[in-house]
Structure 1
Amino acid sequence: MHMLYNSDSYAVVQIEMPSQDTPERGAVAVAQDLVPALTRGGYEIVDKFARKELFIEGALAEQFKEGVEALIESSPSIEEFDAYLERYAGMAQQPVVMH
């Protein structure tokens, strides 16, 4: 898990998990070369005011990542970044639960 963004309104965490069919060491020896293990994962977006979270993966996570990268190129303010996250936070259904 990597905390990517944390404001008064939102938090974004990147989650990477090793694929189930790869060893836990994170790499596979193939013909004396190390090949990085496949991973799967996505992004968890937490709306702090609504107290809801959303986990996105696959094509939606890729679209989110590309949008963030494009936004970063314009040196956004916190308000602009929060406005971008608000588009995804509207899909959040899972209530945030403290453990």
Structure 2
Amino acid sequence: MQMLYNSDSFAVVQFEVASEEPDVREGVPGLTRGGYEIVDKFARKEIFIEGALAASFREGVDALIETSPSEEEIDAYVSRYAALMQQPLVLH
């Protein structure tokens, strides 16, 4: 688990889980799986994305980072995923 982004509006945490079975080819790391948890602090909702949606999210973030974005620009990008958020934020 790694905190990637934290603003007044959003938090993004990356989760990676390594495969329990190593790759049989030398020098090739085992497969990993995981995704991103995105939290909307004001709406108090969250979403966990994985697979193709997570890959698309990461590609968009990578492209955005190349432009040295402001916090407002990053928040605007992350807010695109707010409409998908259905899970209420529960603190434990």
Structure 2: give runs of 5+ residues left out of the alignment. Answer: none
**Of residues 48, 55, 69 in structure 1, which corresponds to 2:41?**
48
Offset of residue 51 of structure 1: 0.4
TM-score (norm 2): 0.91
Matched, 1:37 2:26: no
The answer on 1:90 being equivalent to 2:86 is: no
| Deviations 1:14-64, CA, capped at 9 Å, x for gaps | 001133xx24xxx45x37x35422111010000000000010001110000
C-alpha separation in 1, matches of 2:77 and 2:42 = 16
Aligned-residue Cα RMSD (Å) equals 1.4
Equivalenced residues, count? 92
Would you say 1:65 and 2:58 are equivalent positions? yes
Look up the equivalent residue of 1:58 and give its one-letter code. Answer: G
Structure 1 or 2, whichever has the larger Rg, is 1
Aligned-residue sequence identity (percent) comes to: 70
Misfit runs of 4+, over 3 Å = none
The AA in structure 2 aligned to 1:41 is: G
Residue type at the aligned position of 2:36: Y
- Whichever residue aligns with residue 64 of structure 2, its letter is L
Q: d(CA) in 2 for partners of 1:3 and 1:89?
A: 18
Structure 2 match to 1:13 = 13
SS at match of 1:36: coil
In structure 1, give the amino acid aligned to 2:45: K
**TM-score under structure 1 length normalisation:** 0.85
Q: Which structure shows the bigger proportion of residues in strand conformation? A: 1
